[in-house]
Amino acid sequence: MINEKLIPDLVDSILEYWDLPAFTDYPGEAMTYAEVGRRVMWMHALYHKIGLKRDAKVALIGKNCSNWAIVWLATVTYGCTIVPILANFSPEDTQHIINHSDSVLLFISQDKFDSIDSELLRKIRYIFALADFKPLNGTADKNRLDFKSYEDSAEFTALDKSGIQIEDVCDNEDIASILYTSGTTGFSKGVMLPHRSLLANLIYAREELLFTVGAKVLAFLPLAHAYASSFDFLYPFTRGNHINFLAKIPAPKLLLSAMQDLKPEVVLTVPLLIEKIYKKQLQPTIESPKMRIILKLPGLKQMTLKKIHDKLMQAFGGNIRELIIGGAPMNAEVEEFLQQIRFPFTIGYGMTECGPLIAYANWQVHKYESSGKQVKFLDIKIDSQDPEKVPGEIMVKGEQVFKGYYKFDEGTREVLQDGWLHTGDIGTKDKDGFIFIRGRNKNIILGPSGENIYPELVEQKLNNMPYVGESLVLERERQLHAIVYPDFEALDADGIAETDIDKLMEKNRQELNKSLSDFSRIVKIHIANEPFQKTPTQKIKRYLYN
């Protein structure tokens, strides 16, 4: 049972870190915690003026920015439910989610507003621009709103600590947020996260993560996703961190440039970004003939690996205490190399329905190919007669688990049974409690004699082959096929013509099959001319390619 409350934690953070920098729309000017508190109080006054009721739903759409965070904080501390919507949802999906969630207010970036038909938003009373909080056209009550902007409200811009008066009106079972998933199955569901779920994640993070009070945080993963919302925003906010918002996931070059500038201590990222950095900046050096020889000589090997470690640390700003990777499976070859050079990284496991954390272990105890061990407040069991050796569905129970899908009782009953959340992930758990994920239940392909084939594991091997950018393994006519999006940049750099791609991929297929069991071998590789469509955590939307 959790004794803390979310709203007092957030208010205490504002007061405790009053003069410290809180938010920056990188690379702009910093906004202090005091300024955040004043803007939250102004927004509470706006909500009161509108007559917003407790438990009302407030939709929020836009890229990462300070105002996004302020809307989130103001809404939850007012006792309402925030509905963050991913900026990359289509206009049709965006409109559906706003309506389905029963939101009555909408904060939206101008580009997203221009793409939707506001007349179709059935319950929305007011629409505000995320950039400056001004009412936008298309609001039913826009002519009846007489309210000064924050900049023109001296009673708020001059508030001192005593003016931050926020009552805790919520219970831990109240819904703080409804997150609409953008998963690999194509169906978006509204995940209802109560205050206790967010609190459980915050308390665990406070005890286990390595964030130093006041340190800089680089928030580039989409905040409308549970992973970034909890650990790039909420937890750092309660630690007095200076959160630097990037509007989108940057290319590796831009990411490393920002890290050089900010020198963060802890960075949350997804596997694809790290795999790209490894493939472009490290792999060519490691696999050169000279380096292959050096790495076979014990004395030179350790010295060389130390130099690579130091170089990579400097590339990430020189101040990294831990790189936390999550949201999608990690390429085994990349993970093995990072462990070999003793780079401070770890891999976690979670899902939106747990707000999100399920398993984590710090980098010093991280086990190869694992996704951490169960976190505080949570129980994990494997639906298998031999959980250490025979993969089964991962099931979890505890404070982090969501209350259900909004207006979708059937879906809730399907995944929540006797208090246990059926994750749909298949894995094992060793004697030390570490979780090893093998794949998704829905993705398993049955071999000719009933063998379980985990396409994600085959894809990992294929992605390590020359000139493979990314891949997808699927079943066609009871045989395994692979779709490959080639690494066109590497092909161009090596002067390889497009007409030779098919031959190269056929050679890759033959080499790959040598390392695979008979039942999991690929019969044909198909070439994709465009990158695969992905979720916010860079998992491929598999349903689009079946």
CB-CB neighbours of 188 under 10 Å: 18
**Residues 392, 486: one domain?**
no
**Residues 379, 346: one domain?**
yes
**Residues 133, 31: one domain?**
yes
**Residues 457, 434: one domain?**
no
**Residues 394, 457: one domain?**
no
**Residues 417, 497: one domain?**
no
This prediction has a pTM of: 0.85
What is residue 142's predicted lDDT score, i.e. its pLDDT?
46
Digit-coded pLDDT (tens) for 45-95 = 999 999 999 999 999 999 999 999 999 999 999 999 999 998 888 888 899
Q: Which residues pair with 394 in a beta bridge?
A: 382
**Residues 505, 526: one domain?**
yes
Identify whether 133 is part of a domain.
yes
Identify whether 199 is part of a domain.
no
What is residue 140's predicted lDDT score, i.e. its pLDDT?
46
**Residues 290, 348: one domain?**
yes
Single out the residue in 409, 441, 473 at which a domain terminates: 441
**Residues 91, 116: one domain?**
yes
The boundaries of the domain holding residue 378 are 266-318+320-441
Angle of CA points 12, 13, 16, to nearest 5°: 80
Pairing of strands 404-405, 21-25: unpaired
What is residue 184's predicted lDDT score, i.e. its pLDDT?
45
Helix (H, G, I), strand (E, B) or coil at 102: coil
Single out the residue in 390, 417, 441 at which a domain terminates: 441
What is residue 328's predicted lDDT score, i.e. its pLDDT?
76
Helix (H, G, I), strand (E, B) or coil at 229: helix
Identify whether 206 is part of a domain.
no
- Angle (deg, nearest 10), helices 33-50 and 6-16: 130
We report the CATH number of the domain holding residue 144 as 3.40.50.980
Token pair 């992973």: residue: 227
Question: Does residue 474 contact residue 467 with C-beta atoms inside 8 Å?
Answer: no
**Residues 334, 478: one domain?**
no
Low-confidence ranges of the chain (pLDDT < 70): 137-144, 182-187, 448-451
247 vs 257: CA distance, rounded Å: 15
Measured in degrees and rounded to the nearest 5, phi and psi for residue 162 equal -65, -20
Question: Does residue 230 contact residue 204 with C-beta atoms inside 8 Å?
Answer: no
Q: How many domains does the chain have?
A: 3
319 vs 258: CA distance, rounded Å: 13
Identify whether 227 is part of a domain.
no
Identify whether 366 is part of a domain.
yes
Which helix (H) or strand (E) covers residue 83, if one does?
strand 81-85
Cα–chain-centroid distance for residue 337? Answer: 23
